[in-house]
Structure 1
Amino acid sequence: MNNNNYRNIEDTCITISELMLPSHANFSGKIHGGYILNLMDQIAFACASKHSTNYCVTASVDTVNFINPIEVGELVTMKASINYVGKTSMVVGIRVEAQNIQTGNTKHCNSSYFTMVAKDENGNNSKVPGIIIRNDNEMRRFLEAIHRIEMKKNRQEQFDSDNFTSQDYLKSLENHNVRIEL
């Protein structure tokens, strides 16, 4: 590949901010997690499309842990960057923070990883540019993405295999809140 097939990570980063309204709240008065996921999907799409210069679709979402609740009236800021690229896919890392506008206090609400696939005008997978890693943080994110991909693949092979036998796992379930009636 020549140098035109690689892009700087910072050139395709996206940041959005939105004030959380009462209409975004769930029954407990906190911002609905589904609303936040919708915003995260939008920013992942924007970041991946900006990097690939193609329309992108969401292939998977990894590790969505809601760490802190978001309150009505807080300003939510989402930051997205390309953490990893494959041939046609990209892993977009997203950090969600909420700020109390009156106090200025900011809290980390969640981080997540969206795998996006670039599509051409016919809906076929399209090659994406590589990324240029310029610091330890970008290197760490790239390596973490590789690790998550390998763990997912190993998990699928272990449990989706035709060779799966429940008897092999009975001992590992002894300390869990489950009753086995096979």
Structure 2
Amino acid sequence: MSNRKQKFCKESLVIKTSRVFPQDTNNHNTLFGGKLMTYIDDTASISASRHCRVGIVTASTDSVDFLQPIKNDHSVCLESYVASVGRSSMEIFVKVISENLKTGERYLAATSFLTFVAIDDAGKTVEVPEVIPESEEEKMIHEGREAREIARKERLKASRLLASSLKTEVPWLF
């Protein structure tokens, strides 16, 4: 065990609940994916800040899996917390639950993992506290961190390779 400070997953827990209104929906009468992604990044960033209490930046949105549509006039509830950490990075898990407000039926609508990095005022990375999972869900999510980290590194490597082949000028302007 290292000498790093430790925090429990629940110390970074953020819960955000919103009603889905017609202006939040697409032509299928379901919540815009981009709107949900904004909610996800917002809650995840608060979890990261609560965990490290220094500046943070989003390093990646590792995954957003839309499992079921979120309908107009339902609620959408996001629960996020720090699931695992590196030296200066934090993996945030976000669970999205929707509720039919007329029937009370609740269902898992989406899951997401994001990575944030802790930085100081000069923009240099800083060490973050270790994280301790307690609940069965936290332990299960935490145990999958190695596989997700490997996948994240491979995806970043592929993205950098792709980026090296892309042009940045707009062809119709030249």
The normalised TM-score by structure 2 is 0.83
Aligned ranges for residues 64-75 of structure 1 at < 5 Å?
A: 64-75=64-75
What secondary structure is seen at the aligned counterpart in 1 of 2:64?
A: coil
Compare the two structures and name the one with the higher strand fraction.
2
In 2, Cα distance between equivalents of 1:109 and 1:136? 20
Which residue does 1:28 correspond to in 2? 28
In 1, Cα distance between equivalents of 2:123 and 2:158? 32
Aligned ranges for residues 122-141 of structure 1 at < 5 Å?
A: 122-141=122-141
1:153 paired with 2:153, answer yes
Following TM superposition, by how much is the alpha carbon of 1:124 offset from its aligned partner in structure 2, in angstroms? Answer: 1.8
Describe the shift of the 1:131–1:29 C-alpha distance in structure 2 as closer, same or farther (beyond 3 A).
same
1:82 paired with 2:78, answer no
Describe the shift of the 1:156–1:11 C-alpha distance in structure 2 as closer, same or farther (beyond 3 A).
closer
How many pairs are equivalent?
160
The normalised TM-score by structure 1 is 0.80
1:91 paired with 2:78, answer no
In 2, Cα distance between equivalents of 1:96 and 1:130? 25
Instruction: Say whether the 8 Å CA contact 2:63–2:114 is kept in structure 1.
Output: no
What secondary structure is seen at the aligned counterpart in 2 of 1:87?
A: coil
Aligned ranges for residues 33-112 of structure 1 at < 5 Å?
A: 33-112=33-112
Q: Please provide the CA RMSD for this pair.
A: 2.0
Which residue does 2:170 correspond to in 1? none
In 1, Cα distance between equivalents of 2:44 and 2:159? 29
Following TM superposition, by how much is the alpha carbon of 1:77 offset from its aligned partner in structure 2, in angstroms? Answer: 0.4
- The amino acid that maps onto 2:61 is V
Which residue does 1:8 correspond to in 2? 8
Unaligned runs of 5+ in 2: 162-174
What secondary structure is seen at the aligned counterpart in 2 of 1:113?
A: strand
Which residue does 1:118 correspond to in 2? 118
- The amino acid that maps onto 1:40 is I
Following TM superposition, by how much is the alpha carbon of 1:84 offset from its aligned partner in structure 2, in angstroms? Answer: 0.6
Larger Rg: 1
Following TM superposition, by how much is the alpha carbon of 1:120 offset from its aligned partner in structure 2, in angstroms? Answer: 1.2
Describe the shift of the 1:136–1:101 C-alpha distance in structure 2 as closer, same or farther (beyond 3 A).
closer
Following TM superposition, by how much is the alpha carbon of 1:156 offset from its aligned partner in structure 2, in angstroms? Answer: 5.7
Deviations 1:46-73 (A, max 9, x none): 0000001012111111221211111111
In 2, Cα distance between equivalents of 1:96 and 1:11? 19
Describe the shift of the 1:156–1:31 C-alpha distance in structure 2 as closer, same or farther (beyond 3 A).
closer
- The amino acid that maps onto 1:62 is D
